[in-house]
Amino acid sequence: MKIYISATLRKFLGGTPQVEIPASCIRKAFAILLDLHPEAQNVFYDDNKKLRDFIQVYVNGKKLVIDTLWDTELPADTEILLLPAIAGGAPVEGGQNATVESLVSDERRKSVSFDDSEVERFGKHLMLKEIGVKGQKRIKAAKVVVAGAGALGSAVIQYLAAAGVGTIKVIDFNEVSLENLQSQVLYGTRDLKRPKVASARDKVKNINKNIEFIAEKEQLDSSNILEQIDGYDLVVDCSDNYKTRYLINDVCALHGIPVVFGAIYQFEGQVGIFNLDGGPCYRCQYPSPPPAGLIPSCSEGGAISPLPGIVGSIQANEALKLILGIGEHLNGKLLHVDSLYLTSQILKVERNRSCPICGNSPTITDVEEIDYDELCGLKTENEIPVEGFTPEELAKKIDNGDPMTIIDVREPHERAILRFPNAIVIPIGQLARRQKELDPNKDTVFICKQGKRSVLAINTLREAGYAGPLYNLKGGVDAMKDIMFSHEGAWL
Amino acid sequence: MINIHICEKATERMVLAARQAYPQECCGILLGKKEDSITVSDIRKANNLVTGAQNRCHFEMDPMFLYQVEREIERSGLEIVGFYHSHPDCKAVPSEQDLHYMIPGLVYAILSVTKDGVADIQYFQK
């Protein structure tokens, strides 16, 4: 490929404006170029081996979105432009965290009063010089939305209520189920099948009946989210899926409401603060969600019981610090906790100047313009739709002895919970390579836990050029659990 | 210390650009020669790509514009020696973001501009 090097970068790369590099992709071309000019290594890459922000790569005149084209094979006549990004900005006085301002104004604090029981109840807060009477009044005046009353929400809701937050709104559309009780400590056996927000209300009222608790049994979408969070000081994101996470981030970024974000996966958790005082938003760090089905959600991937308690407690603690305006908080940072090896790191999150929502030229101005299903890959409109069988249909085919190949793409530990008999096990990553193990003259049915990764598997195989008939088990093995076969016990 | 000489014409044009853009940030390219010392003999105004309220405190130049200017001046004997931008109602000191995007070896002119005009011009190099 031909690489044109901007005059501004030329002196690091031998001074020639144009070089011809025999490489099939940009990553390899860069490696060859930097091998020739090792002194340019530090100019191009930072200490973490990440391409520096001021290096911009244009492929045939179009700006490269790094992660997408970096390893793509490109034809030999491709022209690459290596240009600098010229950007900057006026200094912000003091920078982030220099003054931590409370989210609750002095007027609102002054409008709040305590009775004797509250002085006793919050005694341990009043003792702290960082909180005291003024701080406790701020907590009481604060209005917080908790989005999601699952495992993270359980910790957040209880601690915010116990700490004395005056107005708490909880949004969740689910009912309590048995599998929730492993980590959602807000609920007990008696709450089974009850709406989570109703049980949450009982718990909160039991902690402190003076709290104004607003229960919203509603699924958040782009048409209702704004009215749900409008007028609140802070949103604590306790959702368990990318769609809601991006929706919350976007609406809060557009309306200047800070978000305390939390997420868990197996043994690891993350906490961060977004959209505070011109700081970064969630999209600055994660411009787009991973392809649907690639990263299992908590309900698919599992999580150790106390983990959401740890992460949720940190979220509640950050929320209180923002309300109080004390300490140093996670604005522009992401805390990563690994509960298996007891390690933690704080990562820096930079505001992304090309962020579509909070960047220099935002392209998103209203969440109603965005199709969040499409963003999160939950829609397959533009692709060939994946055909599938319902559990009943598949059971019937199995009962009839129809010829077919069943491919299980689940992880080994998932298969250990529930084995799917007569299935061939092929991890998604090996599918393209092992496609000859499939018989294109027979139906091939893909199964996973919830029927999402199997769709990804089918699309992968199609992209790799496999032409035989492919079907998905709708709802996955989970949906298959209750199916009875005519020759009972022979299958599942 | 950078050994730098700025021609009057270049300074005048930068000052005018900063005043015209106020209260928004302006930006552009410094053209000149780089030998033992750096001479800035002309400037080329660029559009600030930042839109909305953010363009009072941020700027971004289209890299393709830079590419065009590079190709144009190829045989003129001039070269790109650096960039300028303004800080409306702010000191002429590089912000954290300015430092982040500075290319080593190039000159960065920062103009402090208020409603009354340009108060200060400073030159920086990384």
Length of chain B: 126
Is this complex scored with an ipTM above 0.85?
A: no
Task: Indicate if A298 belongs to the active site.
Answer: yes
* A271 touches A304 (CB < 8 A): no
pLDDT of residue A295: 64
pTM of the prediction? 0.61
The separation between the first and the last C-alpha atoms of chain A, rounded to the nearest angstrom, is 55
Domains located in chain A, CATH noted: 2-84 (3.10.20.30), 106-375 (3.40.50.720), 388-480 (3.40.250.10)
| Beta pairing partners, A444 | A405, A470
Q: Among A8, A58, A90, whose Cβ lies nearest the Cβ of B103? A: A8
A238, A284, A298, A355: the active-site residue: A298
Query: A54–B87: do the CB atoms touch at under 8 Å?
Result: no
Q: Count of CB atoms within 10 A of residue A245's CB?
A: 22
A339 min Cα distance to partner chain B (Å): 34
Digit-coded pLDDT (tens) for B23-72: 888 999 999 998 888 999 999 999 888 776 666 778 888 888 999 999 99
Q: How many whole angstroms separate alpha carbon B59 and alpha carbon B66?
A: 14
Q: For residue A347, what is the DSSP state?
A: E
Is the dihedral angle over the CA atoms A475, A480, A486, A492 positive or is it negative? positive
Give Cβ neighbours of residue B119 (< 8 Å, ≥ 6 apart): B92, B112, B113
Q: How many whole angstroms separate alpha carbon B88 and alpha carbon A88?
A: 13
Task: Name the token pair of A436.
Answer: 């000859």
Token pair 């923002």: residue: A322
Contacts of A4 in chain B (CB under 8 A): 67
* A4 touches A18 (CB < 8 A): yes
Is the dihedral angle over the CA atoms A55, A61, A63, A66 positive or is it negative? negative
Query: B60–A87: do the CB atoms touch at under 8 Å?
Result: yes
* A168 touches A212 (CB < 8 A): yes
Token pair 């949004």: residue: A171
* Strand duo A62-63 + A79-84: pairing: unpaired
Query: A6–B27: do the CB atoms touch at under 8 Å?
Result: no
A238, A252, A355, A448: the active-site residue: A448
Query: A87–B51: do the CB atoms touch at under 8 Å?
Result: no
Task: Indicate if A252 belongs to the active site.
Answer: no
- Phi/psi at B108 (5° precision): -120, 115
The number of angstroms, rounded, from the C-alpha of B115 to the middle of its chain's C-alpha atoms is 19
* B115 touches B90 (CB < 8 A): no
Task: Name the residue of chain A whose CA is nearest to B84's CA.
Answer: A86
Q: Among B51, B79, B94, whose Cβ lies nearest the Cβ of A361? A: B51
* A412 touches A397 (CB < 8 A): no
Contacts of A63 in chain B (CB under 8 A): 63
pLDDT of residue A299: 65
Task: Name the token pair of B92.
Answer: 């002429």
Domain boundaries of chain B, sorted by first residue: 4-125
Interface A–B counts its CB contacts (< 8 A) at 111
Query: B63–A56: do the CB atoms touch at under 8 Å?
Result: yes
Query: B57–A43: do the CB atoms touch at under 8 Å?
Result: no
pLDDT of residue A98: 43
Q: Is the pLDDT of residue B91 over 80?
A: yes
Sheet holding A18-20, edge to edge: A18-20, A2-5, A79-84, A55-59, A62-63
Query: B70–A6: do the CB atoms touch at under 8 Å?
Result: yes
B9 min Cα distance to partner chain A (Å): 23
Q: Among B51, B54, B101, whose Cβ lies nearest the Cβ of A85? A: B101
Q: Which helix (H) or strand (E) holds A34?
A: helix A26-36
A140's torsion region: left (phi>0), alpha (psi -120 to 50) or beta? alpha
Q: Which helix (H) or strand (E) holds A459?
A: helix A453-463
pLDDT of residue A101: 82
CB burial class (10 A; 0-12, 13-18, 19+) of residue A86? buried
* Strand duo A234-237 + A143-147: pairing: parallel
pLDDT of residue A93: 45
Q: How many whole angstroms separate alpha carbon A205 and alpha carbon A208?
A: 5
Digit-coded pLDDT (tens) for A375-427: 776 655 455 677 888 888 888 888 888 889 999 988 888 888 888 888 889 88
- Tell which residue, A228, A212, A311, A331, has the closest CA to residue A270: A311
Interface list for chain A against chain B, based on CB atoms closer than 8 Å: 4, 6-9, 11, 43, 53-54, 56, 58, 61, 63, 81, 83-92, 95, 353, 359-362
- Phi/psi at A480 (5° precision): -85, -15
The number of angstroms, rounded, from the C-alpha of A55 to the middle of its chain's C-alpha atoms is 28
Task: Name the token pair of B18.
Answer: 């900063």
Render the burial of A101-116: b for 16+ CB within 10 Å, e for the rest.
Answer: ebbbeeebbeebebee
Task: State yes or no: cis peptide before B23, omega within 30 of 0.
Answer: yes
- Rounded to an integer, the average pLDDT of B6-14 is 93
Q: What is the DSSP string of A263-311?
A: EEEBTEEEEEEESSTT---HHHH-SSPPPTTTS--HHHH-B-TTHHHHH
Vertex A100, ends A98 and A104: CA angle to 5°? 155
Task: Name the token pair of A310.
Answer: 């740890």
Token pair 């929400």: residue: A153
* CATH architecture under which domain B4-125 falls: 3-Layer(aba) Sandwich (3.40)
Residues of chain A with pLDDT under 50: 93-98, 381, 488-490, 492
